Amino acid sequence: MFSLAQINIDKFDTDRLISNGLSYNKDKHTSPDFVILDRYNDFLWEAKWLKHNSVFAWHIETNSAVKKRVE
């Protein structure tokens, strides 16, 4: 898992992510491979595989000891 930061979420280069092998549905603005998290709101689309607490984000299968540290 990795993170990319951008001041304006509408400036993300989704074409570059797609050209590097990630899936993205441009019509529905969704992806099973990545999600965009707005710092002041929430995920731009549902990502059942990822949780966050406004500071950290983690995969739902993360080790329970690591989850306790970030929560």
Residue 61 within a domain: yes
With tokens 């951008």, the residue in question is 6
Q: Specify the amino acid at residue 49.
A: W
- For the ranges 16-25, 44-53, 59-68, the maximum mean pLDDT occurs at 16-25
| Residue 70: how many other CB atoms lie within 10 Å | 13
Residue 57 within a domain: yes
Q: What is the pLDDT of residues 37-55, one digit of tens each?
A: 887 888 889 999 998 887 8
Provide the domain limits for residue 26. 10-70
Round to whole Å and give the CA distance between 6 and 4. Answer: 7
Domain count, the chain: 1
Using DSSP, state whether 24 is helix, strand or coil.
coil
With tokens 């304006």, the residue in question is 8
CB 26 within 8 A of CB 13: no
Q: Tell me if the pTM is above 0.75.
A: no
Round to whole Å and give the CA distance between 41 and 29. Answer: 17
